[in-house]
């Protein structure tokens, strides 16, 4: 098993003096959708959402792609996406293994029986041996738009020590009419510094109002800023996440279901003064497939973007190979 330890930072190079890595989390089970939604065709030529994210990342300055998947899906992802993208940028696969645990937890019977991935925080830790440069973390099944990537590159290009970055979205741009969604509601302090992230697991429309259902019903404003898992870090975040994961395991209530989520872990680090997170806001319209009914909306949105000339009809045709 890989050890949980500090990453070895290498000198940065490439565009503007820095090599940037895009980390895509694609190991989730898609319980609301009911299938492997990361490989649902949505583009004019059958492209996947992930392809548009990689395309936008490449033109904003990223040179390396790390895809976090389940090991059994490796060949499927390589044939569908990896083989195509590898012509233009370096592609690395990381397997999120439920048995990838620190120390004594590798022998914990309840933890070893777990089938469900441990969550987005664990996904980033799964890639720890591949992350030697500033990196951006995104979901495979969210369409973020090119300006989201440019905003992240802007923040990563001048990131102080002990600092990370988050590109947020207004809540109303991330809602589904098909059912409830889970969003990280942000509290942002002076100078755009993140104060905390509160996970709301069932946000839905009630007429034109937006309500969060939990222990109590809360109305949320349309311009509430939310996390869509668009994070930026240097490798120094990794030992901090490792500490958070061990703490999570010490306090876990249900080893079969509880998840170590990246927004929650970062929020803990922020509250404990171990990291600062600078925030930006995307001007883009977000698209995503939470439910099967969302797919047509995503396809229509990408079609409109293509017709406006923001993307070529054949995404990879005419691009220079690396």
Going from N- to C-terminal start, the domains of the chain cover 17-307
pLDDT digits (tens, 9 = 90+) for 266-285: 999 999 999 999 999 999 99
Q: What is the pLDDT of residue 321?
A: 62
pLDDT digits (tens, 9 = 90+) for 5-60: 333 333 333 345 579 999 999 987 554 434 566 788 999 999 999 999 999 999 99
Answer yes or no: is pLDDT of 150 > 90. Answer: yes
pLDDT digits (tens, 9 = 90+) for 72-104: 989 989 988 899 999 999 999 999 999 999 887
Q: What is the pLDDT of residue 8?
A: 33
Q: 82-87 — which CB contacts under 8 Å span 24+ positions?
A: 84/51, 84/316, 85/51, 85/54, 87/316, 87/321, 87/322
Q: What is the pLDDT of residue 37?
A: 67
Q: What is the pLDDT of residue 318?
A: 67
Q: What is the pLDDT of residue 315?
A: 92
Q: Read off the DSSP letter of residue 140.
A: T
- The CATH number assigned to the domain with range 17-307 reads 3.90.550.10
Q: What is the pLDDT of residue 25?
A: 95
The average confidence (pLDDT) of the chain is 89
Residue 112: pLDDT band by 50, 70, 90 thresholds? Answer: confident
Contact 149, 62 (CB under 8 A): yes
Least Cα distance to 140 among 208, 82, 188, 196 occurs for 82
Q: Are strands 194-206 and 209-212 parallel, antiparallel or unpaired?
A: antiparallel
Q: 248-257 — which CB contacts under 8 Å span 24+ positions?
A: 248/121, 249/101, 249/102, 249/105, 249/111, 255/108, 255/110, 255/111, 255/113, 255/114, 256/110, 256/113, 256/114, 256/115, 256/116, 257/116
Provide the whole-model pTM. Answer: 0.90
pLDDT digits (tens, 9 = 90+) for 219-239: 999 999 999 999 999 999 999
Range with the poorest average pLDDT among 25-34, 107-116, 138-147, 246-255: 25-34
């Amino acid at each position: 098993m890989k050890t949980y330890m500090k990453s070895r930072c290498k000198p940065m190079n490439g565009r503007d003096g820095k090599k940037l890595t895009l980390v895509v989390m694609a190991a989730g089970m898609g319980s609301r959708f009911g299938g492997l939604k990361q490989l649902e065709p949505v583009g004019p030529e059958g492209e996947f959402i992930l392809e548009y994210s990689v395309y936008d990342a490449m033109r904003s300055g990223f040179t390396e792609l790390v895809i976090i998947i389940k090991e059994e899906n490796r060949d499927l992802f390589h044939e569908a996406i990896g083989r195509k993208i590898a012509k233009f940028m370096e592609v690395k696969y990381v397997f999120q293994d439920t048995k990838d645990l620190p120390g004594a937890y590798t022998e914990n019977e309840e933890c070893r029986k777990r089938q469900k991935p441990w969550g987005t925080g664990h996904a980033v830790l799964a890639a720890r041996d591949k992350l030697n440069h500033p990196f951006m973390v995104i979901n495979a099944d969210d369409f973020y738009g090119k300006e989201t990537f440019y905003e992240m590159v802007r923040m990563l290009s001048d990131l102080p020590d002990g600092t990370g970055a988050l590109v947020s979205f207004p809540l109303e741009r991330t809602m589904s009419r098909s059912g409830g969604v889970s969003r990280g509601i942000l509290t942002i302090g002076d100078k755009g510094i993140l104060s905390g992230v509160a996970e709301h697991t069932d946000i839905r429309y009630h007429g034109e109002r937006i309500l969060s259902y939990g222990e109590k019903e809360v109305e949320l404003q349309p311009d509430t800023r939310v996390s869509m898992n668009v994070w930026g870090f240097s490798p120094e975040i990794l030992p901090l996440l490792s500490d958070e994961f061990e703490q999570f395991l010490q306090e876990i209530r249900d080893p079969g279901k509880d998840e170590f989520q990246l927004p929650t872990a970062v929020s803990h680090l922020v509250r404990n003064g171990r990291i600062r997170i600078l925030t930006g806001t995307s001007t883009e319209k977000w698209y995503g497939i939470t439910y099967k009914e969302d797919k047509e909306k995503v396809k229509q949105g990408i079609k409109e973007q293509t017709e406006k000339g923001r993307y070529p009809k054949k995404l990879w045709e005419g691009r220079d190979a690396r």
